[in-house]
Homo-oligomer: A and B are copies of this chain.
Amino acid sequence: MKTLIREKRKERNMTQEELSEALKVSRQTIISLEKGKYKPSLVLAHKLAQIFECTIEDLFIFEGDENV
């Protein structure tokens, strides 16, 4: 699974800290998501999509046969 979080964040000139505050998560969480260290929860994915005014499917690119 790929994510466009970093690209969308930069388009809006937001820092990781600003994004983390908007989402009410830690900055560590943003770093880890952008670097692909892990996948967000469904609710966090939804909040990210809302902030970036797109759908979850626009923000995350799913590839074949991923682990559940």
* Contacts from A to B (Cβ < 8 Å): 1, 23-25, 39-47, 49, 55-57, 60, 62, 66-68
Contacts and interface: CB of A to CB of B under 8 A. Distances in A.
Contact of A57 (B23, B55, B66): B55
17 contacts: A1-B42, A1-B43, A39-B43, A40-B42, A42-B42, A42-B45, A42-B60, A43-B62, A43-B68, A44-B68, A45-B56, A46-B56, A46-B60, A47-B68, A49-B57, A55-B55, A55-B56
A12 to B, nearest CB: 20
Nearest to A26: B68
A9 to B, nearest CB: 17
